[in-house]
Structure 1
Amino acid sequence: MRRHFAGFRREVAALPLQAKFMPRRASPAADACPTPILARSGMRRRWFRMAAIVMACLAMAARPAMAQQILRDAETEAFMGDMSAPLVSAAGMEPRNVQVLVINDPEINAFVAGGQYVWVHSGLIAAADNVNQLQGVVAHELGHIEGGHVVRSAEGMKAATGITLLSLVLGAAAIAAGGAEAGMGILGMGQQAAMGKFLAFSRAQESSADLAGARYLSKAGLSGKGSLEFFKKLQNQEYRLAIPQDDSYGRTHPLSGERINVLREVYTVDPAWDKPVDPALEARFERIKAKLVGFVSEPAQTLQRYPESDQSIPAHYARAYAWHKSAYPDKALSEVAALLAAQPHDPYFLELKGQILLESGKPADAIAPLREAVKATNQPLIATLLGHALIATEDEQNFAEAERVLRNAVARDRENPFAWYQLGVVYERRGDIPRAALATAERYSMMGDDQMALRSADAAMQGLKPGTVDYLRAQDIAMVSRAAVEQKRKKR
């Protein structure tokens, strides 16, 4: 069974890490591709090896990441939307089209990877001291989106590849003429020049995003203090890693000190420089930060960071998750009781209570708080949890409500595999096998399992009436999945 972060989490595969916020010790390609030292013997064979290494190094500059977990949570997504909306509008984009999502990764980082999505690592949120620091990071990433930097990264790759190919041709000619050492020198200099070209292009994009982010903060009437404070955090990290502070050559990002010096001149003269942080937004930030820490950290670490002596709302929130993860439902519910005593009708506190009850084997008790939370928010992630609780009671009288709740949830958030799974379960329990197969097809299609999506869609069409909405949807899934399966087969 999937673990819930007051909702659920799903896998996302291969996110290309262009336009990253955090500065690096050096470029990934430079770290992974040392220049080989070639001997005279077997020169031609090693020359081809050298060429392959050079091309691989350039390709790695935009290599994809390993699959990472996206943390989905109703309260966090609502906060991220509200926190970023003024910045998105200032960047000339529509807030409803831009999403700021959280990835379960302890690294202090954020990036964009195509589309209007900003990916923020959980480690960055945990490290931020206030919401203004987070807004500074998001403003920078919006600068990458507005500037089209992910798409334009191909320009930098093209220029670097051109230098590499030219050096390969010249090096080959020199080697063929008997000048082996000269040829190797040309190849080495070509590799260095190509990498330098690409890294300079990357640094220029980062500087452009910094200034764009400053414009968005100013237009939104938000202080740039948080942005500078966060860059100072990154600078302290560079000091700890003993990164030289005199030259940013060989790096994908300018040094944090360089960025601070440039941005300080921009921020300190802005009218919003001394504008205080919105206290209501700051309180929401402290809540989502605490619940995130409670969810992703080891319980012992959470309890150390938020000790029993701390009776604040964020501390109760964090400890509730820590105790729940440790399989102490009574202690977790005690923390939730303290939260509800302070704010009896808070939908997210009610959601957490329902989640703990459901996952500790008391689905019937979870229904009432989850119903109230859904009524207050109409949030599809919470509705999915309610549907799960209704089904888990194994009471047929609850299945009609579960179907209604889950159909409403997937209508407003189709990218929710767990909701489709639960909907398939309730269809199967009610004897509607064709629609159970269609829900399964939706789930597998979303998860990227084209073979299973195709099988399930074909099974659904066998029982659905041709021409209906559900039949046409199953037909669409089957068509797309069949094409994907055939494409993969041809590549083998």
Structure 2
Amino acid sequence: MRLFAHILAFLALATFAGQPASAQSILRDAETEAFLDDISAPLVEAAGLVPGNVDVVLINDPSINAFVAGGQVVYIHSGLIDAADTANEVQGVIAHELGHITGGHIIRIREGYGAATNITLLSMLAGIGAALAGAGDAAMGIIMAGQQAALGKFLAFSRTQEASADAAGAKYLSDAGISGRGSLAFFGKLLNKEVRYGIRQDDEAGFYRTHPLSGDRISKLRETYEVDPAWEAPLDPDWERRFQRVKAKLQGYVAKPEYTYRDYPESDQSTPALLARAYAYHKEARIDRALDTADALIARDPADPYFLELKGQVLLESGRPGEAIVPLRRATELTRAEPLIAAMLGHALIATEEEANYEEAERVLRAAVGRDRYNPFAWYQLGVVYAARGDMPRARLASAEQQVMNRQYPLALRSAQAAEAGLPTGSPDWLRAQDIAMEARALMEQQCEIKNGRGCADLRR
């Protein structure tokens, strides 16, 4: 049964990947998100999609991977950013994933699974028949052969989709005037890993892979890229500069400090190195070193909002919210109230516990959730400031918003019902409370069906 278990494991992975972003370990950073949006925008447009409707989401996972899971969202693992050397390499991955979106591959995966399941069921029925006839060994052989055929059919379907996404990604890079050199370079890294860890490159080993062999992919893509007019296009220096900053910040935030100090030693006084070490110092509670490094960055460019955000974050998270307000307020102004930075400013204002700061906190937090509703932390902080100002119905509504995003559906339902009871009938907030209550109730019902095979009668009341 091990072969069929591979199919089930793959489907379980697909199910996990299809969970809402709030259910996964999502990394959110204003500078990183702006960078990913900017480098993907020309590719999204080349794919015939609307840039503002496609999201690139970073997941805290050290493996080298990227995937789509329905909708117009590309998920990238932090390990992929760490493995890449250029923004152009990341663009190659994004272009490939956009090929999955435009090809409707997540929807069509049911076709491949359905065909594989039919083969498996037929082989099991035949095997049961053989077993009933007394041929136990033959029954097991029939079942195993059927499962092997099923897995082969399913993975062949998957490999076809990957090849299709490769071709689509190459076209999007070309149409956007972006070189495919980064795409080839990244596949080269994957091939080197396969060789290093002894993964065989022959067809027998490749049969059980969901992707075409890396060597084959490189060969086919090279033929396409090298004749493309964009092959010799220079890399965008601004994107490459920003990529090095984002990569350094990411390592400083997720890696062990000793690894950060190894890769970005004190002798390296570049901006990316200072950013990486600032986060590493902060993780080790070396607050003075972190602040000195942040100040050194600000001295290089006093109008860089992300340097100011860094200083504000270190001050806020080290228990000095009053001092954090000035740099965070300035960063918010420079980014025109970027939601993540504005939410941090709101947090700092509330953390001072000074009533005079609550009005500004409410204003910046409302602006933050107005531009980015999918930020449970900002909703939580908004609920805190509403409660501090005595507006309990809206405090309940803000709690319901963040609870439903955190999949706390019973709490979200109760909070939404309490908010609805206290808000003016027919007002936008009252209507929103009704919407959240219905959403929470529906999701609870869905969970009951998955768990019990039937709905929960008490939720229908």
**TM-score, length basis structure 2:** 0.93
For the structure 1 residues 313 and 57, does the alpha-carbon distance in structure 2 shift closer, same or farther, using more than 3 Å as the test?
closer
Residue 422 (structure 1) aligned with residue 381 (structure 2): yes
For the structure 1 residues 483 and 200, does the alpha-carbon distance in structure 2 shift closer, same or farther, using more than 3 Å as the test?
closer
Residue 360 (structure 1) aligned with residue 309 (structure 2): no
Displacement after TM superposition at 1:77 (Å): 0.6
Which residue of the other structure, out of 200, 203, 212, is the alignment partner of 2:156? Answer: 200
Displacement after TM superposition at 1:62 (Å): 1.5
For the structure 1 residues 122 and 57, does the alpha-carbon distance in structure 2 shift closer, same or farther, using more than 3 Å as the test?
closer
Which residue of the other structure, out of 121, 124, 129, is the alignment partner of 2:77? Answer: 121
Displacement after TM superposition at 1:68 (Å): 3.5
Q: Would you say the 8 A contact 1:453–1:477 is kept in 2? A: yes
The 5 A counterparts of 1:71-82 are 71-82=27-38
The letter for the 1-side match of 2:353 is E
Displacement after TM superposition at 1:489 (Å): 4.3
For the structure 1 residues 331 and 226, does the alpha-carbon distance in structure 2 shift closer, same or farther, using more than 3 Å as the test?
same
DSSP 3-state at the match of 2:233: coil
DSSP 3-state at the match of 2:412: helix
Displacement after TM superposition at 1:165 (Å): 1.4
DSSP 3-state at the match of 2:25: strand
Displacement after TM superposition at 1:174 (Å): 2.4
Which residue of the other structure, out of 314, 329, 352, is the alignment partner of 1:393? Answer: 352
Residue 413 (structure 1) aligned with residue 372 (structure 2): yes
DSSP 3-state at the match of 1:364: helix
Question: Partner of 1:436 in structure 2?
Answer: 395
The letter for the 1-side match of 2:157 is F
For the structure 1 residues 485 and 394, does the alpha-carbon distance in structure 2 shift closer, same or farther, using more than 3 Å as the test?
same
Question: Partner of 2:198 in structure 1?
Answer: 242
Which residue of the other structure, out of 482, 485, 488, is the alignment partner of 2:441? Answer: 482
Displacement after TM superposition at 1:203 (Å): 0.8
The 5 A counterparts of 1:364-379 are 364-377=322-335, 378-379=337-338
User: CA deviation digits over 1:182-203, x for unaligned, max 9?
Assistant: 2222111111100110111111
User: CA deviation digits over 1:151-193, x for unaligned, max 9?
Assistant: 1110100111111111122222222233333222211111110
Question: Partner of 1:225 in structure 2?
Answer: 181
2: CA distance between counterparts of 1:79 and 1:108?
Answer: 19
**TM-score, length basis structure 1:** 0.87
Question: Partner of 2:2 in structure 1?
Answer: 34
Paired positions, count: 441
The letter for the 2-side match of 1:442 is E
Question: Partner of 1:447 in structure 2?
Answer: 406
Bigger relative contact order (CA 8 A; separation at least 6):
1
Structure with the higher helix share, 1 or 2? 2
Which residue of the other structure, out of 241, 252, 269, is the alignment partner of 1:283? Answer: 241
Which residue of the other structure, out of 204, 212, 231, is the alignment partner of 1:254? Answer: 212
1: CA distance between counterparts of 2:317 and 2:243?
Answer: 26
2: CA distance between counterparts of 1:58 and 1:298?
Answer: 35
The letter for the 2-side match of 1:334 is D
DSSP 3-state at the match of 2:401: helix
The letter for the 2-side match of 1:363 is P
The letter for the 2-side match of 1:62 is L
2: CA distance between counterparts of 1:466 and 1:352?
Answer: 43
1: CA distance between counterparts of 2:404 and 2:94?
Answer: 31
Displacement after TM superposition at 1:485 (Å): 3.0
2: CA distance between counterparts of 1:386 and 1:177?
Answer: 74
Residue 111 (structure 1) aligned with residue 72 (structure 2): no
Residue 329 (structure 1) aligned with residue 287 (structure 2): yes
DSSP 3-state at the match of 1:414: coil
The letter for the 1-side match of 2:75 is W
Question: Partner of 2:459 in structure 1?
Answer: none
2: CA distance between counterparts of 1:322 and 1:169?
Answer: 59
2: CA distance between counterparts of 1:234 and 1:387?
Answer: 43
What do you get for the CA RMSD once the two structures are aligned?
1.4
User: CA deviation digits over 1:195-217, x for unaligned, max 9?
Assistant: 11011111111111111111111
Q: Would you say the 8 A contact 1:203–1:254 is kept in 2? A: yes
User: CA deviation digits over 1:372-427, x for unaligned, max 9?
Assistant: 11111120110000000110111111100000110111111100000000000001
The letter for the 1-side match of 2:141 is G
For the structure 1 residues 290 and 115, does the alpha-carbon distance in structure 2 shift closer, same or farther, using more than 3 Å as the test?
same
Q: Would you say the 8 A contact 1:58–1:161 is kept in 2? A: no
DSSP 3-state at the match of 2:229: coil
Which residue of the other structure, out of 418, 424, 440, is the alignment partner of 1:465? Answer: 424
Which residue of the other structure, out of 169, 182, 197, is the alignment partner of 1:213? Answer: 169
Which residue of the other structure, out of 244, 251, 256, is the alignment partner of 1:293? Answer: 251
Residue 383 (structure 1) aligned with residue 342 (structure 2): yes
**Percent identity among equivalent residues?**
63
The letter for the 2-side match of 1:276 is P
The answer for unaligned runs of 5 or more in structure 1 is 1-32, 36-53
2: CA distance between counterparts of 1:184 and 1:468?
Answer: 65
DSSP 3-state at the match of 1:62: helix
User: CA deviation digits over 1:258-312, x for unaligned, max 9?
Assistant: 1111111111111111111011111011111110110000111111110111010
Question: Partner of 1:348 in structure 2?
Answer: 306
2: CA distance between counterparts of 1:289 and 1:163?
Answer: 46
2: CA distance between counterparts of 1:413 and 1:145?
Answer: 23
